[in-house]
């Protein structure tokens, strides 16, 4: 009998290992944001643009106070605002990381170098005054950052080198219970004043920074818990001989949540604290920019912010709701040396105080059929207290000024409502109305500052800014995703740097003598700003190899200075362009090669409230070529400002211009999964 060959034995199936990603404790969104002007910054943009502030600026109307990026901007100018209603060093938008504010407790600005893109899953930008869970500070909107989920192994890694001594390395990874994100970079920088205007006093805008954050999380039954600890430090050259800054700080956030499984519901409690300390030296510039002399030495600005927030969610038929409360405290003191005689500081200053804001809110959303309706109301109380300003002679300690402003407080109701209707699977309409407010920061209330020969005085009697607005939009979600919005906003009691006079010869009892070529300003609640505009964006693809995106924002903003600042009436707010246009193109040229380009244009703006110092229009083109080594790895070549455009970022009282970064070549390796 012939031998029977047994059938071949099939190999055992390959075990499928599920990639488990553990995200920070979060409650599900109510679903009402679709009724507002919202845009998502996805991981692909963060991957191609590792500086977070630049990635956010791909959305029109998002801007730092000045045109410079976090590569070269002084910390005090890195406040973010939306819709170009009026720039502010403190920022007029609230920035959160998984619910906890990341705005500086003293100044309201954001240290963007402490938020590397490698540690994030994305960002959601909601334009329009916040209500509901956003609260105080979300005057022109909110930038909600989402931290990367934790998994076993490496999640993200990027290392690059560029011209002018630019080096950067970032990493994010760990286990399902621990996520470590760290970044370090350095740059010899570029000199912002160029050509014939530059002198021996001009120096590069150098940068050295490092930050680290650790998130530990665990589930206790159906309750998720996470503790996030962070620390950062950055050191910058200010572009002038003898001028520079150092900023450092820490953060801690504890979050407990019991979310409903896959739907709205559950609760969350969060406690957070942030510390910061800014040292900043400024100088006066001699004629011809030949040399500088010390003007101000901000030795330290220790500040602490801390807060609590809590939310409870539920459903009532087809409607979902969230009831919550939040509170934030801040205290800080500025320690400075000023008034130079014979090359030495002669006076000292200690100035600071405390602020508080807290409120309760109720937010609801209804999503049924073609309709989405949402609304929220808040009631907040605010206070500023313990204001003091002590000035003294350094040599003797004798007090020359000792003032204190009376405590101030108030209660502010705000709210928002939105409606969206789907006409067809590819077309929808929406409308919204809202009101929000922003209390002044400790920096605005108490710290005067000097840039070159320009002096800006503080004002401990500032009141909160209040904004109200309406908007309407139309859009579609077909093969081309697009939307367009028209809006009208009115900002009451805006905090502006109001020009009081120019030197030499101007003397203010507190500020003292203003030097030649200098300008004296003071922070004031100056009437109102009326702004209307239109914004839109569209994205699509040609087959699967070519994707494109474009967006624009037009804002017509004008100041009505009222009785406080009549000289500002009819002027455009400082640092406010009318047009911002962005565009991007990604072409997968082959299985290995991807070519990308991004363009950003800003129109004419003004450095000052008087609209005398013109900042010319400018456009920046960034190019990137990436070669895939594996599905999650690539090497890349990037050219920032490929056309070497001279984009004006600032202008002094004697009309000397500063410019943005020149063309810069970078090469690197990136890993994402």
**pLDDT, tens only, 114-154:** 999 999 999 999 988 877 788 888 999 999 999 999 999 99
What is the DSSP pairing of strand 449-451 with strand 454-457? antiparallel
Tell me, what's the pLDDT at 83? 85
* Residues with Cβ within 8 Å of residue 642, at least 6 apart in sequence: 621, 622, 623, 663
Closest CA to 658 of 79, 205, 284: 205
Task: Give 205's pLDDT tier (boundaries 50, 70, 90).
Answer: very high
Confirm whether 630 is domain-assigned: no
- Report cis status (omega within 30 of 0) of the bond before 504: yes
* Residues with Cβ within 8 Å of residue 429, at least 6 apart in sequence: 420, 421, 423, 472, 473, 474
Q: What's the CA gap between 631 and 617, in Å, rounded?
A: 40
Closest CA to 371 of 412, 313, 423: 423
Pick from 51-60, 177-186, 300-309, 488-497: least confident = 51-60
Tell me, what's the pLDDT at 10? 47
Confirm whether 50 is domain-assigned: no
Under 8 Å between Cβ of 359 and 329:
no
Q: How far lies 318's CA from each of 262, 364, 366, 375, in Å?
A: 16, 11, 6, 15
CATH code assigned at 372: 2.40.170.20
Q: Full-prediction pTM beyond 0.85?
A: yes
Mean local confidence (pLDDT), 491-501: 86
Tell me, what's the pLDDT at 113? 94
Element (DSSP H or E) covering residue 443: helix 442-446
Closest CA to 111 of 125, 97, 121, 98: 97
Q: Which domain holds residue 375?
A: 183-621+642-658
DSSP designation for 77: G
Asked if the model's pLDDT at residue 509 lies above 60, the reply is no
Asked if the model's pLDDT at residue 452 lies above 70, the reply is no
Confirm whether 408 is domain-assigned: yes
Mean pLDDT score across all residues of the chain: 90
Confirm whether 119 is domain-assigned: no
Under 8 Å between Cβ of 326 and 306:
no
Task: Give 430's pLDDT tier (boundaries 50, 70, 90).
Answer: very high
> What phi, psi does 541 have (nearest 5°)?
-145, 150
Mark residue 159 as left, alpha or beta (left: phi above 0; alpha: psi -120 to 50; beta: remaining).
beta
Task: Give 14's pLDDT tier (boundaries 50, 70, 90).
Answer: very low
Question: What share of the chain in percent tops pLDDT 70?
Answer: 95
3-state SS assignment for residue 46 = helix
Under 8 Å between Cβ of 376 and 132:
yes
Tell me, what's the pLDDT at 221? 92
Tell me, what's the pLDDT at 239? 93
Mean local confidence (pLDDT), 166-172: 97
Measured from the Cβ of residue 555, the count of other Cβ atoms closer than 10 Å reads 25
Confirm whether 178 is domain-assigned: no
Q: How far lies 344's CA from each of 348, 392, 614, in Å?
A: 12, 15, 35
Pick from 190-204, 421-435, 454-468, 508-522: least confident = 508-522
Question: What share of the chain in percent tops pLDDT 90?
Answer: 69
Q: What's the CA gap between 335 and 337, in Å, rounded?
A: 7
Closest CA to 268 of 237, 309, 231, 239: 309
Mean local confidence (pLDDT), 263-285: 94
Confirm whether 108 is domain-assigned: no
Confirm whether 251 is domain-assigned: yes
The 10s digit of each residue's pLDDT in 303-316 is: 999 999 999 999 98
Q: What's the CA gap between 579 and 507, in Å, rounded?
A: 38
The 10s digit of each residue's pLDDT in 348-371 is: 999 999 999 999 999 999 988 899
Tell me, what's the pLDDT at 81? 87
Closest CA to 158 of 52, 254, 59: 52
Tell me, what's the pLDDT at 261? 83
Q: What's the CA gap between 318 and 332, in Å, rounded?
A: 46
Closest CA to 261 of 222, 298, 290: 222
Under 8 Å between Cβ of 652 and 282:
no
Element (DSSP H or E) covering residue 532: strand 528-542
Tell me, what's the pLDDT at 455? 80
Confirm whether 7 is domain-assigned: no
Q: How far lies 310's CA from each of 267, 436, 544, in Å?
A: 8, 20, 44
Token digits of residue 129: 């005054």
Measured from the Cβ of residue 132, the count of other Cβ atoms closer than 10 Å reads 26
Tell me, what's the pLDDT at 449? 79
Mean local confidence (pLDDT), 327-333: 97
What is the DSSP pairing of strand 100-101 with strand 94-97? antiparallel
Mean local confidence (pLDDT), 218-241: 96
Mean local confidence (pLDDT), 74-78: 86
Pick from 67-71, 452-456, 460-464, 623-627: least confident = 452-456
Q: What's the CA gap between 626 and 633, in Å, rounded?
A: 10
3-state SS assignment for residue 112 = helix
Asked if the model's pLDDT at residue 508 lies above 80, the reply is no
Element (DSSP H or E) covering residue 516: none
Asked if the model's pLDDT at residue 658 lies above 50, the reply is yes
Q: How many domains does the chain have?
A: 1
Under 8 Å between Cβ of 557 and 84:
yes
Token digits of residue 149: 């989920």
* Residues with Cβ within 8 Å of residue 543, at least 6 apart in sequence: none
Tell me, what's the pLDDT at 15? 45
Asked if the model's pLDDT at residue 4 lies above 50, the reply is no
Asked if the model's pLDDT at residue 2 lies above 50, the reply is no
DSSP per-residue letters across 575-590: T--SEEEEEEEEEE-S
* Residues with Cβ within 8 Å of residue 3, at least 6 apart in sequence: none
Asked if the model's pLDDT at residue 224 lies above 90, the reply is yes
């Amino acid at each position: 009998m012939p031998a029977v060959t047994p059938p071949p034995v099939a190999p055992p199936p390959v075990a499928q290992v599920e990639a488990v990603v553990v995200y920070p404790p979060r409650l599900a969104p109510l679903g009402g944001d679709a009724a507002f002007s919202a845009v998502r910054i996805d991981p692909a943009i963060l991957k191609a643009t590792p500086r977070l502030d630049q990635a956010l600026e791909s959305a029109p109307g998002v801007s730092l106070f000045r045109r410079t990026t976090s590569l070269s901007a002084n910390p005090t100018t890195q406040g973010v605002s939306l819709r170009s209603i009026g720039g502010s060093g403190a920022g007029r938008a609230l920035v959160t990381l998984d619910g906890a504010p990341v705005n500086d407790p003293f100044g309201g600005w954001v240290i963007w170098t402490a938020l590397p893109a490698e540690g994030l899953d994305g960002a959601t930008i909601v334009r329009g005054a916040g209500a509901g869970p956003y609260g105080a500070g979300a005057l022109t909107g909110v930038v909600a950052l989402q931290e990367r989920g934790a998994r076993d192994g490496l999640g993200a890694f990027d290392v690059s080198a560029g011209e002018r001594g630019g080096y950067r390395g970032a990493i994010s990874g760990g286990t399902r219970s621990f996520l470590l994100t760290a970044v370090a970079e350095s740059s010899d920088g570029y000199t912002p004043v160029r050509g014939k205007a530059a002198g021996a006093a001009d120096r590069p805008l150098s940068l050295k920074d490092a930050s680290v954050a650790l998130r530990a999380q665990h589930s206790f039954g159906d309750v998720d818990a996470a503790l996030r600890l962070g620390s950062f430090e950055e050191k910058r050259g200010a572009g002038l001989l003898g001028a520079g800054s150092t900023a450092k700080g820490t953060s801690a956030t504890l979050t407990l949540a019991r979310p409903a499984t896959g739907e709205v519901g559950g609760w969350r409690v969060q406690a957070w604290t942030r510390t910061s300390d800014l040292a900043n030296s400024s100088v006066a510039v001699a004629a011809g920019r030949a040399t500088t002399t010390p003007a101000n030495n901000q030795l330290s600005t220790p500040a602490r912010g801390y807060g609590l927030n809590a939310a409870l969610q539920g459903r009532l038929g087809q409607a979902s709701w969230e009831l919550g409360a939040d509170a934030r405290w801040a205290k800080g003191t500025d320690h400075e040396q000023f008034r130079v005689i014979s090359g030495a500081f002669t006076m000292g200053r200690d100035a600071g105080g405390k602020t508080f804001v807290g409120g309760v809110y109720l937010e609801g959303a209804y999503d049924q059929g073609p309709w989405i309706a949402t609304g929220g109301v808040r009631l907040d109380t605010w206070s500023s207290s313990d204001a003091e300003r002590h000035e003294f002679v350094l040599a003797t300690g004798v007090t020359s000024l000792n003032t204190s402003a009376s405590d101030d407080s108030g209660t502010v109701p705000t709210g928002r409502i939105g409606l969206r209707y789907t006409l067809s699977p590819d077309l929808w309409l929406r409308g919204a109305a809202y009101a929000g407010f922003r209390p002044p920061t400790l920096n605005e209330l108490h710290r005067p500052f000097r840039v070159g020969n320009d002096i800006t005085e503080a004002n401990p009697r500032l009141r909160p800014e209040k904004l109200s607005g309406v908007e309407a939009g139309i859009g579609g979600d077909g093969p081309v995703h697009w939307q367009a919005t028209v809006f009208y906003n009115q900002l009451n009691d805006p905090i502006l740097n109001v020009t009081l006079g120019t030197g030499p010869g101007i003397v203010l009892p507190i500020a003292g003598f203003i030097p030649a070529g200098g300008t004296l300003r003071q922070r004031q609640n100056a009437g109102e700003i009326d702004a209307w505009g239109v914004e839109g964006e569209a994205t699509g693809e040609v087959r699967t190899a070519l994707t494109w995106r474009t967006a624009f924002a037009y804002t017509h903003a004008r100041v009505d200075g009222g009785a406080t600042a009549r000289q500002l009436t009819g002027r455009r707010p400082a640092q406010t362009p009318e047009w911002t246009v962005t565009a991007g193109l990604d072409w997968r040229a082959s299985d290995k090669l991807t070519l990308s380009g991004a363009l950003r244009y800003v129109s004419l703006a003004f450095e000052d409230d008087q609209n005398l110092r013109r900042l010319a229009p400018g456009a920046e083109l960034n190019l990137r070529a990436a070669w895939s080594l594996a599905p999650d790895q690539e090497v890349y070549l990037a050219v920032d400002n490929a056309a070497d455009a001279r984009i004006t970022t600032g202008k002094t009282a004697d009309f000397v211009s500063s410019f943005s970064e020149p063309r810069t070549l970078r090469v690197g390796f990136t890993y994402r999964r």
